[in-house]
Structure 1
Amino acid sequence: MFRAAVRSAGVVARTAARPKPSVALRALSTTPARLSEGPKPELFGPGAKAGEVPTDENQATGLERAQVLAEREGVELFDENPLDSSRIGTLADPIKVLSYEHSRLVGCTGSPAESHELLWMNLTQQKKRRCPECGSVYELDYQGDSEVVLHELH
């Protein structure tokens, strides 16, 4: 019993001897972030004022905000036009799909358009893809930086 009392007193004495972390140290670590006067990112909207309903321009962030700002200036940021469905792509003359990425997801509805259900295919630079329903062939036309090399896709 005596030993237990001495042990607990030693634990209390050791914890009391440790320096307590000061609040100033924690506040100092966050001070540069709070007080920095750097420019605010353009892709974050200002938000709505109190009591107002925000518009898309006020609350959009990221790529959506970039698209909203581009539309305001009359520029189409993303190409949302459908692929050419006036013909069926062949191995000799496939339908080219422009991309800035090494792979792209493409949906085929047949030729003429809407002649079969929507089927999705993953195009890569390595090979052309044929729609299993209508037989149309698609090929990725990579427009990105040719120096960027990714590992082999499995």
Structure 2
Amino acid sequence: MFLQRSAFAARRAAFNPIVKRSFTSSFIRRADKIDPLPGQPDKHVKPFDEIKTESDLLPPGAAPGTVPTDLEQATGLERLEILGKMQGVDIFDMKPLDASRKGTLENPIIVKSFGDEQYAGCTGYPADSHITLWLTMSRERPIARCTECGSVYKMEYVGPQDDHHHGHHGYEEPKTFADFVKPEYR
């Protein structure tokens, strides 16, 4: 009897809520607030070629009372990436490294970098023949070799040319086995 009564009460509560509310939703779409499609001009979007300073990467913001889009609120590198994608430019060069061959000391796999240090993940040759091993390359040590498959990677600095690379203020990078390899074995 107790079981029947609780099942009946649960059924009644599921179909007959205590507070009755109607659910409505609406939205207003204004033609002037739609984000531009790739290749279309917009009065608030500066073309990628005209971006010269950090102030060019500040967005106009959303109109009061509206929810901002990514284009209206993104700043800095995120805004630069969005503007580049809108014009078909891959800002951060996110395509995978060349995995069609094994890098050698004479012909290494090139890894481009805008910074002083770059990490690259090696999955072996042929691709995915071992787990991903992360290699660290720097401007002082631009060549790294995978300990699993022996593939060689070389960092190529493509950052600003006026970047004056100074040491790390007395910091000396720790030695590795690569420091003790005789030059004739390279």
The normalised TM-score by structure 2 is 0.54
Higher-Rg structure is 1
* Paired AA for residue 116 in structure 2: H
* Paired AA for residue 141 in structure 1: E
Deviations 1:82-122 (A, max 9, x none): 11011111122211112232321111111222222121111
- CA distance in structure 2 between the aligned counterparts of 1:44 and 1:119, rounded to whole angstroms: 38
Higher relative contact order (CA 8 A, sep 6+): 1
- CA distance in structure 1 between the aligned counterparts of 2:158 and 2:91, rounded to whole angstroms: 16
Q: Please, which runs of 5 or more residues in structure 2 have no aligned partner?
A: 1-53, 174-186
1:136: which partner in 2? 151
2:118 matches 1:104? yes
Provide the identity percentage: 46
* Paired AA for residue 92 in structure 1: E
Given the superposition, is the C-alpha separation of residues 148 and 78 from structure 1 closer, same or farther in structure 2, using an over 3 Å criterion? same
2:40: which partner in 1? none
- How many residue pairs match? The answer is 115
2:136 matches 1:122? yes
**Matching residue within 91, 94, 107 for 2:108:** 94
- CA distance in structure 1 between the aligned counterparts of 2:57 and 2:70, rounded to whole angstroms: 12
- CA distance in structure 1 between the aligned counterparts of 2:162 and 2:68, rounded to whole angstroms: 42
The normalised TM-score by structure 1 is 0.64
Task: Give runs of ≥4 in structure 1 deviating > 6 Å.
Answer: none
- CA distance in structure 1 between the aligned counterparts of 2:59 and 2:163, rounded to whole angstroms: 35
- CA distance in structure 1 between the aligned counterparts of 2:154 and 2:128, rounded to whole angstroms: 20
- CA distance in structure 2 between the aligned counterparts of 1:75 and 1:92, rounded to whole angstroms: 31
Q: Please, which runs of 5 or more residues in structure 1 have no aligned partner?
A: 1-39
Deviations 1:51-106 (A, max 9, x none): 43321101111100011112222322221111101111112221111223232111
* Paired AA for residue 122 in structure 2: C
Describe the SS at the equivalent of 1:41. Answer: helix
